């Protein structure tokens, strides 16, 4: 006759797996990807709806600048946070 594990052990193992999965995700990369995708969509709307190529390029350059600033200075904050 098989005996199952108590429910608490299963719950602890499941929460540990979820925590490990959340720690393995690169949240900054995911955020940068989502900002870039939104910028491409907005630039496409600006370009195809109004034929505004300067506005579309401004949207793309602005989004790239925001992502670059956050990636550059966000890494410093992460390193300082992990040292404490």
pLDDT digits (tens, 9 = 90+) for 24-53: 777 888 889 999 999 999 999 999 998 899
**Tens digits of per-residue pLDDT, 7-30?**
666 666 667 767 776 677 778 888
With a CB cutoff of 8 Å and minimum separation 6, the contacts of 78 are 28
How many residues appear in the chain? Answer: 84
What is the model's pLDDT at position 12?
Answer: 64
In a domain, 2, yes or no: no
Task: Give the number of domains in the chain.
Answer: 1
Q: What does the alpha-carbon distance between residue 32 and residue 75 come to, in Å, rounded to a whole number?
A: 13
Q: Within a domain: residue 68? A: yes
Whether residue 6 lies inside any domain: the answer is no
Residue 77 lies in a domain: yes
| Inside any domain, residue 8 | no
Domain carrying residue 39: 26-83
- Cα separations in angstroms, 8 against 19, 64, 68: 16, 47, 44
Nearest to 28, CA basis, from 78, 65, 62: 78
């Amino acid at each position: 006759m098989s005996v199952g594990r108590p429910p608490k052990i299963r719950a602890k193992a499941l929460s540990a797996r979820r925590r490990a999965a959340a720690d393995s995700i690169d949240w900054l990369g995911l955020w940068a990807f989502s900002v870039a995708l939104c910028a491409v969509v907005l630039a496409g709307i600006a370009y195809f709806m109004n034929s505004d190529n300067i506005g579309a390029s401004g949207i793309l350059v602005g989004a790239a600048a925001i992502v670059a600033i956050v990636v550059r200075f966000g890494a410093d904050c992460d390193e300082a946070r992990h040292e404490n």
